[in-house]
Amino acid sequence: MGFLTPNAFGEHAILKTFALQQLAQLRTTVHGLTTEQARLAPTASSLTLAALVMHGGAVAVGWSASAAGAPGTPVLPEDLRTDPTFDSLLADGRSLPEVLAFFDRCVEVTTANIDAVGDLDVLVPVPDAPWYPADLTHWQARWCLAHISTEVARHTGHADIIRETIDGKTSFELNDLAEQADR
């Protein structure tokens, strides 16, 4: 899935397509790297590509599960229950192939969750967390699905900078390399 998000028709399909395209872009940032390179923090930030990839996958699962499970509690598969905070993920010692296996499973579950959302208007309870306004009680499922694209795009931008710092490769070049490898 290259740089341009594929065309889609209907709100649900568009939200799904944008979320999956952003996830694919995030995965592309580690194309051709070693585990050691994916664990480098070459910028002023402590973020690594491995941590960003795992965080992006975990975030997509969490938000899509919230939308799919609404108005009830989201259900996360046992193998994807992880602490998505960067402190936890920076300490995670998985190899790059293990990171990608986790990420690919996250994309698989995210896709199924998005497909399970039957009503984009359904209200999703806002979890109790100090960073959410106290008076905010619900989002619509469409907001949760749109938020996946926003959150993953933000972190893909971080990943692009880190990757370019590691070896000079940009997202255009990486998209081409990834597409060639998939043929």
Domain extent listing, the chain: 24-182
Contact 171, 49 (CB under 8 A): no
pLDDT digits (tens, 9 = 90+) for 96-120: 999 999 999 999 999 999 999 999 9
3-state secondary structure of 124: strand
Q: Report the 10 Å Cβ neighbour count for 26.
A: 26
Task: Give the whole-angstrom CA distance, residue 100 versus residue 93.
Answer: 13
| Predicted TM-score of the model (pTM) | 0.94
The stretch 157-182 carries a mean pLDDT of 93
- Looking at residue 58, its amino acid is A
3-state secondary structure of 179: helix
pLDDT digits (tens, 9 = 90+) for 10-30: 999 999 999 999 999 999 999
Task: Give the whole-angstrom CA distance, residue 59 versus residue 147.
Answer: 10
Q: What is the pLDDT of residue 38?
A: 97
Residue 138 β-bridge partners: 125
pLDDT confidence bin for 2, thresholds 50/70/90:
low
Check whether domain 24-182 has CATH 1.20.120, yes or no: yes
